[in-house]
A and B are shown apart, each in its own frame.
Chain A
Amino acid sequence: MSDEPVEPAIRPVGERDAEPAVRRVDQSDDEATAAAGEDDLPPVSALTGPERRLDPRVRYQWALGAVVGAGIAGAIAAVAGLFLFDDPVTLGGGAFLLLAAVGLVFAVLRYRVWRYEVRTDSLFLERGVLTRVRTVVPYVRIQHVDVSRGPVERTLGLASVVVYTAGSRGADVTIPGVTPERADDLQARLKQLAIVAEGEDAV
């Protein structure tokens, strides 16, 4: 038995050998990436790319998140201020302004630091303002790739690519702030690269 992951789990012994050769060609039209062999895939060099930064609009996404977070914290501080000092404005407003300012600075800094690179054997990410993190995800280890678009991302015309591995930090690998076209393209590339890398057993 072969160990390809695309193969259905259950298959009577010998069915693979009995399969007509023509069927593969039929399949390769609509299921090009799933059923076709390596020869149908573009060469790895066409799939990889140079180091890339995120779309600048991601700053607005993060800034908005920071402002909303600061707003919530400010509201809590205002309530606390009301009960403790009978003055909701100073504490609440102060907390809001401070947190919002910090959040905005971080949004800009985070954007400056963020890098990702689709390399030959692995996906490479660099990010983090306070804690600088560099992650290497070998394509063989990719379980699946999601493209997600939250409401804010949709408004700004952005998307996130989430790469899952079997590791304990699986969902940690997210590339935010890419355009939807770029996200779909990235998803397709990663899928193809994972197939070329031919993950026999991802675990």
Chain B
Amino acid sequence: MTIPLATVVSDERVSARRRRRAGGRRGGQPAGSSRTAGYLFVSVYVVLLLALGVAPTVYAIALALSAPGGVGFAHFINTFNFFEFAPAFEHIFEFEGIWLATQTVFVVTLALMVHTLAHRVSSVFRFIFYLPGAMAGAASVVVWLFMFDPHTSPWAFILHAFHFQQLANTVVPGNLPIIFAIMAFFTGAGGWIVIMYGALNNIPRELIEAAEIDGSNVFQTALRIKLPLIRKWIVYMLVLSFAAGSQLFVEPQILAVATVGEVPAQWSPNQLAYYLAFQLDRFNDAAAISVDLLVIGLLVAVLLVWRGKLFEVD
């Protein structure tokens, strides 16, 4: 969650600088020496990006496209025909559907509600919401293992209400999308509430006051004024969350080890790719699945950015 937070800050700075520039110099371009410094700073990042971001991607695409007769889609066709291929993508879409829907509804609703509170009260709430997010990744899975085991869970009575007598009952395949959605929700929602709150704070005070003078009540202000103004942030949250969710790996992988296979080690596409590469030594097929994920992530991002008008200036 640190990345989006940083982006919020930098985004504010950028717009502030833009405003300053627009009012100040006509050309809006920084002077010579500061431009060199800018290139210098960026170059470090560009080198790292090329080495650790672009090069592996190009390598994966090359691996995926290399076929016995040169270049071809043999590995894509291969993997597409794997019995685990379609279920893995079904799993991930089911998970994303549940997770993104609940996350969007709860994050936006809670952020709007918290934003109506006095600052000191709201900061307490934001802190509480954020707390579960402090425990991310592998650590959270380990804690959730306790939570989902009726023998150790403090909420055992809820699990018993669903007739779950032991961990094996809780993690049956049909429950997994919901289980991973619950994990992802509590890990991520708090951070996004903080970001949405920041976005809400960006709304000019005069605008809300004007609405109130015109007789808008709390609900109308929230739905008609605030919500449209943070739409881009919601789209931004969806783009990032979708990409992260489609690459789900740590949670099912640890559950697979902890349940010795009741959660299959090929549950998500990323796990299937890992299994192919590192258990069966089939790197090309694994690369093909990675490229599939890349394409899906890009397509969804482009769709959301385009439909959500993310990069348009108001």
Pairing of A with B? no
| Residues of B participating in the A interface, judged by any CB pair closer than 8 Å | none
